[in-house]
Amino acid sequence: MKVGIIQQHNTPDIPDNRRRLGEKIKALACEGAQLVVLQELHDSLYFCQVESVDNFDIAVPIPSDTTEFYSRTALESGIVLVTSIFERRAAGLYHNTAVIFEKDGSIAGKYRKMHIPDDPAYYEKFYFTPGDMGFEPISTSVGRLGVLVCWDQWYPEAARLMAMRGAEMLIYPTAIGWESSDTDDEKMRQREAWITVQRGHAVANGLPVVTVNRVGFEPDPSGVTGGISFWGSSFVAGPQGEFLYQAPDNTEAVAVVDIDMKRCEQVRRWWPFLRDRRIDSFSGLTRRYLDD
């Protein structure tokens, strides 16, 4: 499968961010991409650096003019498209939602982000209600896609459940970077941990992983922190965790990556982790902590 990724630096100009994405999607399709993956909350700046009720104004319902734009782009490009939308489900009820469009422009499915962080500069719990759709792969013309979102990527349980439900690929639209007060050594540790844990999901499940991050500096509107430098480094890993592509950490990137989907079957034959799981001994995983 040929997978296109777009690592973009956003500005406050939402229509322009969207226009640039549309142009890049069509260019990737011309290069042979069958599936295109966008970064988390790709239409706007990463607004979760502050807690402001005014930011709910940029949320959109599904369907909306926003989803119509990406539906039309998928149709005109003839590709399956993974998007990331700030969803207005109802007044006072919002989600961080991945919407997947089929080649004909229809919505193949959606996934609402399950794990919601709440850290300095990442105040997502203020905005997003945790997802209520579970970990269910989306069936598309290019396969069953295990779409998760950003903070989900730190949880092996989420990747495993997607794999157990038949996902053929794990996909993570992402918005993560460095806060200015961290030391250079700490910054490097954070990024390497982020890469390593996701490569581990590829290995443990015998599946390719596609991770698309945003890039560039976005200031903190409140001035409380020094803003976030999103570290890019988008990557595609094969079913043994091997790098098939890695983007730079400081500039935009657009790429088409070849993934040998048949290799996953062979890797799972060599390493039959699903066969050897001791499911009779895993009941503790449904508890918060084993302290008795």
- Residue burial 237-251, b: 16+ Cβ < 10 Å; e: rest: bbbebeebbbbebee
In the annotation, is 24 catalytic?
A: no
- For residues 237 and 198, is the Cβ–Cβ distance under 8 A? yes
Q: Is the dihedral of CA 75, 113, 177, 42 positive or negative?
A: positive
In the annotation, is 102 catalytic?
A: no
Say how many residues make up the chain. 292
**Mutual orientation of helices 14-30 and 65-77 as an angle, nearest 10°?**
20
Rounded Cα gap, residues 248 and 239, in angstroms: 22
**Out of 24, 103, 110, 113, which one is annotated catalytic?**
113
Instruction: Please state, as a whole number, how many other Cβ atoms lie within 10 Å of the Cβ of residue 279.
Output: 8
Closest CA to 143 of 112, 124, 170: 170
In the annotation, is 192 catalytic?
A: no
Chain Cα centroid distance, residue 112: 11
Residues designated catalytic:
40, 113, 150
